[in-house]
Chains A and B, each alone.
Chain A
Amino acid sequence: MAAHIPLAPVESSTEARIRTLAGDLKQQPGALLPILHAVQDTFGYVPECTAAVLATELALSRAEVHGVISFYHHFRTRPAGAHVLHICRAEACQSMGSAALERDIKQLLNIDYHQTTADGSVTLEPVYCLGNCACSPNIRLDDAVHGRMTLAKTERLLQLLKEGQA
């Protein structure tokens, strides 16, 4: 059956892809955040043209869309590395030595927060609580939280990443 349905030409430009993502969601009231999530999930970040495209799609001003993107810590406007490593900086993790872990991980990766390693493999971000505060200190690697963290365990996780197993 499916073979008889003419396929729409695949639009490949970034603008067109963002328009398609918006198209699926924009009917619902308050659609901007869900669309921005879809954009970031697709591209790994929110590309620069997003504000202009979504302003047209949602009948907002470009400044309004830009204002929303810049308000939320979650949305990044530059591409991330292949993996994102979040270190929890909040109080419970601090009470279990997260500041030292943070310092050691930065040293290990040789980057600061919001930066990506030279080989493009890891972007480092701070996070304020992962909801695992009874097993502090915590980090999040992509979508998985890892508790009771130490530098050695972090190194092992990063090694597994390199081997493509984490």
Chain B
Amino acid sequence: MTRLYLSCDSCALSVGADELAQALTAQLGEQIDLQRTSTRGMFWLEPLLEVDTPQGRVGYGPLTAEDLPSLLAADLLNGGDHPLCIGLVEQHPYLARQQRLTFASLGHNRPLAMEDYAAQGGWSGLQRALNLSPQQIVDEVKESGLRGRGGAAFPTGIKWQTVLDAQAPYHRGFDEAVKFIVCNADEGDSGTFSDRLVMEDNPFQLIEGMLIAALATGATRGYIYLRAEYPHAHRVLQQAITLAEQQGYLGEAILGSHHRFHLQVRLAAGAYICGEETALLESLEGKRGMVRAKPPLPALEGLFGQPTVVNNVISLASVPLILSKGGAHYRDFGQGRSRGTMPLQLAGNIRQGGLVEVAFGVTLREILYDFGGGSASGRPIKAVQIGGPLGAYIPPAHFDTPLDYEALAAVGGMVGHGGIVVFDDQADLGQMAAFAMEFCALESCGKCTPCRIGSTRAQEVLARIRQGEDAEDNLALLTDLCDTMEQASLCALGGMAPYPVKSIVKYFGEELHSVSQTPSAGGQH
């Protein structure tokens, strides 16, 4: 019997992995043992089928059920050659050149198999944390240099220290002096999917990270605030939590210790602003997702007024390794004040889109061409938007910028959550500028005028510029509006929505003036 591997991740499913699995089982039945694993994160190859051979796993993709006859004729079950064969998967340059720390298990585990998680070294960070004091755990995370991967890049260890030091008041609803760990799984930025990958492909890693955060800060309850657009991740997380409870990792007396931690998934409801941590807390409390003024810091007065850690999925998923291998091990990757690895997500008009986890410091050009292989359309890349809808559009002149927090900021960009969206020369960036303001207006929580009204005004002004009306005056007005939004908005939605617009004005100014006849962007294959 030959062992085959095929991902059950929602990306693989979205391009026909289940249909392929059915066809394989129907045709090969007893001859194969088909394992549904996590994805490799090489999404342009999905569905990617891997075959166990004495030399290692040989991959084939992207496949459809129609490819089966020719694959079988090419001796698929012995790793035979075929036009869609990519050779030994581990040796594929896309993987071989990465430094996968947080995503080391990708492709090697069945997402809900606890034995697979343990076999990949899972729970060893937790085991170690159970033998450390809270302060020692926090120190380990500080030592790692980990900065929040949700966008704001705040040092995780310092946030945990604040919550550890905070005295929690008694809360009647919970009947204890409760502290919370809240996982921000709202992943709203276009071009990002690394949170989804953790949750769908290795959910126990997130649970372990949250448990360690709880031990570090004395928190006894946790919530995963998950975007409603991720139904597959929702199902996987629910099952993973149930399994972890049954095995004594969650609930009372964790692994027989005196620690307890109760974890729940809470579904969001389609509001981008609820990714902002204070709006998220309001939403968890059952209210409108209105941004809160800071202070007080959520670390001191967070969910239901209690001390609360709010961390992104990737931040939390980085912690098990930091505990098991030590903070110094993690810190030794990266450069300057950007330590460790960054799971970059290559998306949009790119030939080889997927997850690229590398140490900070790789240049954008290497990511786009060495990993990405250039645009999907084969046309020149005109711009990339990094860090989600509030990120600047970066022109090719800056493609030699190394990817780290400070270097990217120096050219007006941001790492954010690590999403890189690629546009070819057919894209209408004037339209993208208008879209940035449209999105801001749509998603504004409405608390401050510059964001709520300014974004709508900016859309109108942009429309006039695009029609060629008083271009100069309107451009001055646009600049004014952008400045006001930047300076007078309470949070980064209004405060940074001008960034993409200003970068387009600066680098692609001529595109503002042309209204194209066709809907924006090219590259449909």
Contact = CB atoms under 8 A, between A and B. Distances in A.
A131 B304 contact: no
Given A95-B427, A145-B10, A131 B229 contact: yes
A32 B266 CA distance: 11
Nearest to B500: A91
B79 interface: no
Interface stretch (A1-9, A11-19, A66-74): A66-74
B389 A135 contact: no
Interface string A77-100: 000000000000011111111111
A29 B521 contact: no
A68 B347 contact: no
A144 to B, nearest CB: 7
Interface in A15-50: 29-34, 36-37
A146 B353 CA distance: 16
Given A72-B289, A73-B270, A133-B347, A147 B11 contact: yes
A127 interface: yes
B43 interface: yes
Contact of B285 (A29, A71, A132, A146): A29
Contacts of A144: 13-14
A116 interface: no
A143 B231 contact: yes
Interface residues of B, number: 69
Contacts of B432: 91, 94
Contacts of B15: 135, 146-148
A102 B521 CA distance: 13
A128 B272 contact: yes
Contacts of A92: 190-191, 347-348, 419, 421
Contacts of A137: 524
Interface string B432-451: 10010001000100000000
Interface of B: 10-11, 13-15, 43-44, 46, 173-174, 187-193, 195-196, 228-232, 266-272, 283-289, 304, 345-350, 353-354, 376, 385, 389, 419, 421-424, 427, 431-432, 435, 439, 443, 518-525
A154 to B, nearest CB: 13
Contacts of A95: 348-349, 421-424, 427, 521, 523
Contacts of B431: 94, 99
Nearest to A151: B524
B269 A33 contact: yes
A101 interface: yes
Contacts, number: 180
A118 interface: no
B421 A29 contact: no
Nearest to B264: A28
Interface of A: 29-34, 36-37, 58, 64, 67-68, 71-75, 90-103, 127-138, 140, 143-148, 150
Contact of B523 (A67, A96, A134): A96
Interface-central residue, B266, B287, B385, B525, by most chain A CB under 10 Å: B287
A98 to B, nearest CB: 8
A99 B188 contact: no
Nearest to B281: A30
Interface-central residue, A100, A103, A133, A150, by most chain B CB under 10 Å: A133
A58 B435 CA distance: 39
Nearest to A67: B288
Contacts of B422: 95
Interface-central residue, A67, A97, A98, by most chain B CB under 10 Å: A97
10 contacts: A29-B304, A32-B287, A37-B269, A73-B271, A74-B228, A92-B348, A96-B376, A128-B188, A134-B350, A144-B14
B284 A30 contact: yes
A133 B523 CA distance: 14
A155 to B, nearest CB: 15
A73 B10 contact: no
A90 B389 contact: yes
Nearest to B423: A95
Contact of B289 (A32, A71, A103): A71
A57 B520 CA distance: 48
Given A30-B284, A130-B229, A97 B523 contact: yes
Contacts of B270: 72-74, 127
